[in-house]
Amino acid sequence: MTENRSVRVRISGRVQGVGYRAWTVRRASALGLSGWVRNLADGDVEAVFSGPAEYVSEMIAACREGPRMASVRAVEELGPDEPYAGRFEVR
């Protein structure tokens, strides 16, 4: 039985204006994850990934690279979040 995990992350660097949110939706959806991603006023991106723990970990690792035009400085796990159900979406 696969353990589920739900985590909130904050991604900093050049992550706005480079297709980061659309990339996140495609990647998380391909992994079968639920959750959301949004831009923050300070230029960072915030996301919640919810689903099988191994896929959540894989998504967090992928966020350290991001899409081609991004320059990720840090991916900070802000801690567990409420389990999220449904499609992965942009907020």
What pLDDT digit, counting tens, does each position of 2-55 carry? 799 999 999 999 999 999 999 999 999 999 999 999 999 999 999 999 999 999
Looking at the domain assignment, is residue 70 inside a domain? yes
Please check whether residue 72 lies inside any domain of the structure. Answer: yes
Residue 12 belongs to what domain range? 4-84
CB 9 within 8 A of CB 72: no
CATH code for the domain of 12:
3.30.70.100
Give the whole-angstrom CA distance, residue 81 versus residue 41.
21
For the whole model, what pTM was predicted?
A: 0.94
The answer to the question of residue 90 being in a domain is no
Residue 71: CA atoms inside 13 Å, Cβ hemisphere, count?
2
Q: Which two tokens stand for residue 15?
A: 């992550």
Which residues are catalytically annotated? 21, 39
Within its chain, how far is the Cα of 52 from the centroid? 14
Residue 43 within any structural domain of the chain: yes
Q: How far apart are CA 91 and CA 86, in angstroms?
A: 14
Structural domains counted in the chain: 1
Is 42 inside any structural domain? yes
